[in-house]
Amino acid sequence: MTAVQFIVNEVFDIPTRGGLIAVGSTRNGDFIGIPRLRDDTSGQPIHVLGVDHPTPRTRRTGETILVVDRADAEHVLVGRLWTAETP
């Protein structure tokens, strides 16, 4: 089975939010619950704090919104690819 991947399309840093907002597309399926992700370039874990509610835009485009710990900011960049860890 191929792991689910997430490619970062946009990043927002809204100071009142608990983390960075990463909007992206999934490959090879969808997430169930809060995913455990690893950055494909560096191998570092990405600490996902939550999956945000869909917006009209993400419903239309099929994108997913993740809230990511600000400590991972160097890996939360447009174009980065993250792969879900399998349990």
Tens-digit pLDDT profile for residues 4-13: 999 999 999 9
Within a domain: 39: yes
Within a domain: 78: no
Distance CA 3, CA 62 (A): 18
Which domain range does residue 8 map to?
Answer: 1-13+30-65
Within a domain: 74: no
Within a domain: 4: yes
Within a domain: 79: no
Mean pLDDT, each 10-residue run in order, the chain (87 residues)? 92 94 95 93 96 91 96 97 89
76 alpha carbon, distance to own chain's centre: 8
37 alpha carbon, distance to own chain's centre: 8
| Residues in CB range of 42: below 8 A, 6 or more apart | 75
Within a domain: 1: yes
Within a domain: 22: no
Instruction: Give the predicted TM-score (pTM) of the model.
Output: 0.92
Structural domain count, the chain: 1
Within a domain: 52: yes
